[in-house]
Amino acid sequence: MNIEEIKLLISIKNLLKENQKNFPQKNLLFLDFDGVINIPIKDYEQYNEEELINLYSFGNKTCMDNLNILCATFDFQIVISSSWRISGLKYCEKYLLESGLNTNIPIIGETKLYGFNKRFYEINDYLINHPDFTNFFILDDLHMGPLHIFALQTNFQEGLSDENLKKAIKICKRNFK
């Protein structure tokens, strides 16, 4: 980590500590799509073109089921951090719901696209501009730099598998107050 990233981590940790004293619980989940809920289809040769189009039109069922479990376990509110947000929040929300996201799980926003070459800067910016959170967690297949202690980096081929769900729960239990 460079000095700038260390300062970023310290400021977020201080903000978290202060928020946990002053605000009611509000847990944010920063959600990437590709490599988390969208994973490559195995044995795609067995499907015809129409079936493949249908399969690629929705998130992976296992990954979506695990996302629902994670969100219910920690009462998460979702913030879209995926590059899919370029299509707009409504589009992302529709995609998640059609893919099986529980309708009780709120989707409250998206990180801004500032052209940062590292997504963790966009997440940090969201946290600074929406400082009423008490906990946060990041699901992404990209490394989150100084915010990695608040994240699970998934494998693009596996996404939010059953094993990764266990890891995510362990990280959240360790970090959440």
Q: What is the pLDDT of residues 161-171, one digit of tens each?
A: 999 999 999 99
List pLDDT tens digits, range 28-87: 999 999 999 998 766 667 767 766 566 567 899 999 999 999 999 999 999 999 999 999
Q: Which residue has the higher pLDDT, 89 or 114?
A: 89
- Coil, strand or helix at 114: coil
Judged on CB neighbours under 10 Å (0-12, 13-18, 19+), 85 is buried
Where exactly are the structural domains of the chain?
A: 3-175
Nearest in space to 76 (alpha carbons), one of 21, 128, 137: 137
Beta bridge partners of 29: 78, 137
Please give the Cα distance from 94 to 18 (Å, whole number): 34
CATH for the stretch 3-175: 3.40.50
Please give the Cα distance from 139 to 155 (Å, whole number): 11
Mean pLDDT on 129-144: 96
